[in-house]
Amino acid sequence: MLRHPAFFVKALMKTHLSLRTSILFLIFIVLGINYPVLFAPLNSVDDIDMYGYFLNADGLTLRDIFTPSGGQYYRPLLALTFYLDQKLWGLEQSFMHLDNVLFHLVNVLLIFAIAHKLWTLYEGRDSLAPLAVALLFALHPLNVESVAWVSGRTDLIAGIFIFLAVYLMFFVDKRPLPLGYSIAVAGSILLACLAKETAVFFLPAAFIFPFFSLNKNSDTPKVAASVRNGWLHCLVLLASGIGYVLVRTGAFSTSDEGVATIAASLGGGEKVGLLENGRLIVKAAGFYLKKLFLPFPLNFGIIHVSDFYILLGFLLVPLCIWWLYRRDLPSYFFVCSVSVGISAMMIPVLRMTWTPIAERYMYLPSAFFLLATTLLVDRRIALYPRKNIVIVCVVAICVVAAYGTASRNLVWQDNLTLYQDTVRKSPDFIPAQNELANALVGHGRLDEARAILNSMELSDDLNNVQIGHVNRAMMLTEQGDFEGARRFLKKVLEKPGRHKVMILGKLIKVYDKELMVVGKDSGKLLSDMAPLLEQLRTLTGDPFYSYRLGLVYLQLHDNAKARSAFLDAAKRAPVNAHYRDAARRLAEKFDDCVQNEETW
Name the pLDDT band for 8 (thresholds 50, 70, 90): very low
Q: What are phi and psi of 357, to 5 degrees?
A: -125, 135
Name the pLDDT band for 179 (thresholds 50, 70, 90): very high
Residue 574 is predicted with a pLDDT of 78
Residue 15 is predicted with a pLDDT of 57
pTM, two decimals, is: 0.86
Contact 198/339 with Cβ under 8 angstroms? no
Give the separation between CA 96 and CA 150, rounded to whole angstroms.
7
Q: For 183-201, write each residue's pLDDT tens digit.
A: 999 999 999 999 999 999 9
Name the pLDDT band for 101 (thresholds 50, 70, 90): very high
Give the separation between CA 48 and CA 149, rounded to whole angstroms.
11
Cis omega (within 30 of 0) for bond into 76: no
Name the pLDDT band for 350 (thresholds 50, 70, 90): confident
Q: Residue 437: name the closest of 429, 426, 445, 428 by CA.
A: 445
Give the separation between CA 450 and CA 455, rounded to whole angstroms.
9
Angle between helices 363-381 and 329-350 (to 10 degrees): 150
Residue 539 is predicted with a pLDDT of 86
- Furthest-apart CA pair in the chain: how many Å? 106
Give the separation between CA 546 and CA 556, rounded to whole angstroms.
15
Residue 595 has pLDDT above 50, yes or no: no
Residue 150 has pLDDT above 70, yes or no: yes
CA–centroid distance for 460 within its chain: 26
Name the pLDDT band for 466 (thresholds 50, 70, 90): confident
Q: For 429-439, write each residue's pLDDT tens digit.
A: 888 998 999 89
Residue 405 is predicted with a pLDDT of 97
**Which of 34-38, 220-224, 557-561 has the weakest average pLDDT?**
220-224
Looking at residues 70-87, what average pLDDT do you find? 90
